Amino acid sequence: MKLNRRRLLVAGASIGLAKPSRSFAVPTIYAPSDLKPVVIASGNGNQFKNGGTVTCVEKAFSLMTGQTDILDALIAGVNIVELDPAETSVGYGGMPNADGIVQLDSCCMHGAKKRAGGVACLEGVRTPSLVAKAVMDQTDHHLIVGKDAQKFARTIGMTIEDDLNTPHSRQMYLEWKRRADPEHYLDPAKRAQAGMAATLQMAQERLIDPHHMYGTINCNGVNAKGEIAGVTTTSGLAFKIPGRVGDSPILGAGLYVDGAVGAAGSTGRGEANLYNLSSFLIVENLRRGMRPKDAGMEALKRIRANTIEKRLLDKNGNPSFSLQFYIVNAKGEHAGVSMYGNPQYAVCTEKGSTFATCDNLL
């Protein structure tokens, strides 16, 4: 059969050559030559070594640039921090809750596999990030909490310990208890006020690292294949109400990863982050073409605008707390942003590990 122009156009349309009726915005996919493999983390990611020779970001980058899956590499990195008793805001030896019990939270996301997992209020397991990954790998769920998270950890063969306190964390708890509740019982309002006042005083006296009041390590990476992943793990707010869950194990808050766009995670006041789902917002800002720093600043501005309770404001009407975000896009470009000050965040590339400085909003 001879094909005339009309029949050719009809045939072309039937196999998808015709012009689509609508256009859709899609994320930019970067070729490997555009990528800059990198691992970033909160500052403690390039500080603690748990008696070894490498830090979290160094370990993660070394594994990531080998044959190790990117998320496995990042989790191996944060395990160093979780296991180090000197780091009092993550894992073993983390600051306990108001009952003196260490409760841990974590979540992880694998951009290429489009999978995630998390645990909250987990007791007795030093490395909650490994349990979070098991939730991702071995269940159809994203989050398991409390005693059932511990049962799940036991089921998969994790060691369950009676107490994750170290002598130091126990000593800090007893000091906090002495200051916060000297007469044993107060009315709820006074007790909460006394507890926070005692925590702040202990931070001012450097008994507690001020950065460890809200704890946490976030670690994100982009490998040479363009795969993106992230993990966040924490012991949460020092001396928190038992059962309190912050932003760290919540997808979109403590961590969010899109395999075609980038990743963002946080440390600092979890409640402010939760209200705004800021990590998700940041990644969506990346999707719209913002650079990592600008995407993070937009999230901080949103948090500032939504903080209106007087108890959370300083004398200038600004948030009285700080919050940090660590952001990397699909090209390996990264930034750290903070509500206040210029805290450092950890970076590791083929040139080695270093610190970079967060940009502040206020």
Task: Just list the catalytic residues.
Answer: 216
Phi and psi at residue 104, in whole multiples of 5°? -115, 150
| Element containing residue 352 per DSSP (H, E) | strand 352-357
d(CA 238, CA 212) in angstroms, rounded, equals 7
Q: Give the single-character DSSP code of 358.
A: P
Which amino acid would we find at residue 354? T
* 113 within 8 A of 97, measured Cβ to Cβ: no
d(CA 362, CA 209) in angstroms, rounded, equals 22
d(CA 129, CA 134) in angstroms, rounded, equals 9
* 108 within 8 A of 231, measured Cβ to Cβ: yes
Give just the sign of the alpha carbon dihedral 230, 105, 268, 89.
Answer: negative
DSSP for 309-331, please give it.
-GGGB-TTSSBSS-EEEEEEETT
Identify which of 217, 307, 300 has the alpha carbon closest to the alpha carbon of residue 255: 217
| Element containing residue 158 per DSSP (H, E) | none
Q: Give the single-character DSSP code of 56.
A: H
DSSP for 219-233, please give it.
EEEE-TT--EEEEEE
